[in-house]
Structure 1
Amino acid sequence: MPRSKRTRRKGLLDDDSERSPLSGVANIFDVAMVFSVALIVMLVMSYHLPQLLDPDADITIVTNPGQPDMQIIIKEGQTIEVLNMTDRIAGGQGEVLGTAYKLADGKVIYVPENGAENGNESS
């Protein structure tokens, strides 16, 4: 039995000239997102700070040290905290735990009060 050829009726939008001009926008958006993520990774690597991408890493960054607009950026795990320096001086009541000395080579040595080995001595 020979098969008869049936002509298939094309839909209204099957013609290439009648397709939506916005059909390719989704692909352009995907390419832009991949490019932006790659750019962010490249910037982090160029600053030699891959720890920023590690979810378990702890890092502290000081920007503009000694300047009035100094910032301290603290990353502990996945939380990031930014501390801005101000002219205000903190005050309050407390107890003396010991003394810190800065040596000529830049090291800081902490000497606990009352000869205790660590600052969290219970009384």
Structure 2
Amino acid sequence: MAFRPLLFAALLAVIQVWSGPTSADPILGTWQVEPDHKGQIGQIVIRRCGEAFCGRVMKVHDKAGKSVVTRAMGRDLFWGLRSYGGGNYGGGRVWVPLFDREYNAKAQLSGDKLRVRGCLGTICDGQIWWRLH
């Protein structure tokens, strides 16, 4: 009978390994950003990067819906973002193409809306993104 507790413990360890890294976080997916100062709208794919999350610019289009090529295409807009629970994320960095600078990154998820902010000290500014899929 001493065999059963060991088997149970081994089974729990396997389940934790399978469910941990592969479980889907609600931030994962494709997001549309607010129009920039030129009226261009980007699509960002958020994916896992190790233990954190990264967001890469995959598509950009103008007001008319025509595809546009920008220097941000294919580049990570943010990286190292970690889940703090309750829809709150932080601890990463965000690149702001308009200024070509990096800032501390924060994000707050509420349903299909993601508020992404870059912060310099206590001063933060950002955008609202909407889930596409």
Whether TM exceeds 0.5 here: the answer is no
Structure having the higher strand fraction is 2
Bigger-Rg structure (1/2): 1
Of Structure 1 and Structure 2, which has the larger fraction of its residues in helix?
Answer: 1
TM-score (norm 1): 0.28
